[in-house]
Amino acid sequence: MELIFLGTSAGVPTRSRNVTAILLDLKHPTRGGLWLFDCGEGTQHQLLHTAYHPGKLDKIFITHLHGDHLFGLPGLLCSRSMAGNANPLTIYGPAGIREFVETTLRLSGSWTDYPLEVVEISEGLVFDDDDYKVSAQPLSHPVECYGYRIDAHDKPGALDAAALMADGVKPGPLFQRLKHGETVTLEDGRVINGQDYLAAPQPGKKLAIFGDTAPCPAALQLAQGVDVMVHEATLETAMEEKANGRGHSSTRQAAQLARDAGVGRLIVTHVSSRYDARGCEKLLAECRALFPECELAEDFAQVSV
């Protein structure tokens, strides 16, 4: 999977940072898949500077209904329709997201020419199929806000074809059944279990994308053991009390969570507009003092998961 940051600023855009939006390219070999997490104002403009097209989006996950995470959604939905795209799209978000979408489309005389589903979420499982599971945990913010955890399902281990042939099993349709771990009966009457010829499963990648939040109990569960955690670091450690009072986290708190949750890498984002390039260097240094495997996202940065 690959993350593409379309906006990394908190609250308002700056000259170098737009407000929050993150693309997730699943890069699945057969199904593809392009997901968007949050959609701040100007997200469709940011997309124009990438190789990605809104028509390829099939899911949008909204963390909360504050404008810097949401106000780009109506324009994106309409532009996607005006381009003649017919691919279905599903939006997930807190209570109120359906009313927001329906009201903005109705009052502006707009519509979508593609199937559009809006799902209002709560804590727990949001989506699950043969390839991915998405769950949500409530965070600590002035409005209802969630973080999303994406777990790719484990892949079956490789089939040991050489061992099968050594045991007198000829290559053919049975191999496919054995690769799925089935038990089959051979022509000579032997019964063999495919599980006995499979290597260990390949663990699926795990990713956590947080909405805005002060430290909270659910954070550890959301981030536990993920390969990559995306978390806000709105303010520096010296301004921690102010950050928490507004439902945000400091650099120290983001890094401490990454350390306690045993994540592989931390990507911090949602940076206050008060910080210039030198200020951002300070934020990153504060994070790395506690959790060295940390990067501070810039607009259009790409991160492999």
Q: In sequence order, what are the beta bridge partners of 297?
A: none
Nearest to 17 by CA among 288, 279, 269: 269
Mind telling me the catalytic residues? 68
pLDDT for the residue numbered 61: 98
> What's the whole-model pTM score?
0.90
pLDDT in tens, 130-172: 899 999 999 999 999 999 999 999 887 888 888 888 888 888 8
Per the annotation, binding residues for Zn(2+) are 64, 66, 68-69, 141, 212, 270
pLDDT in tens, 257-304: 999 999 999 999 999 999 999 999 999 999 999 999 999 999 999 999
Mean pLDDT score of the chain, rounded to an integer?
Answer: 94
pLDDT for the residue numbered 171: 85
pLDDT in tens, 86-99: 899 999 999 999 99
Q: How far is CA 286 from the centre of its chain?
A: 25
As to burial, measured by CB atoms within 10 angstroms (0-12 exposed, 13-18 middle, 19+ buried), residue 292 is: exposed
Q: Which residues have a Cβ under 8 Å from the Cβ of 66 and sit 6 or more positions away?
A: 143, 212
Per the annotation, binding residues are 64, 66, 68-69, 141, 212, 270
Task: Answer with the residue of higher pLDDT: 97 or 55.
Answer: 97
The per-residue DSSP string of 157-211 comes to: PPB-HHHHHHTTPPSSHHHHHHHTT-EEE-TTS-EEEGGGGBPPPBPPPEEEE--
Pair of tokens at residue 83 = 């381009």
Sheet architecture: strand order including 294-296: 124-128, 132-138, 146-152, 206-209, 228-232, 265-269, 294-296
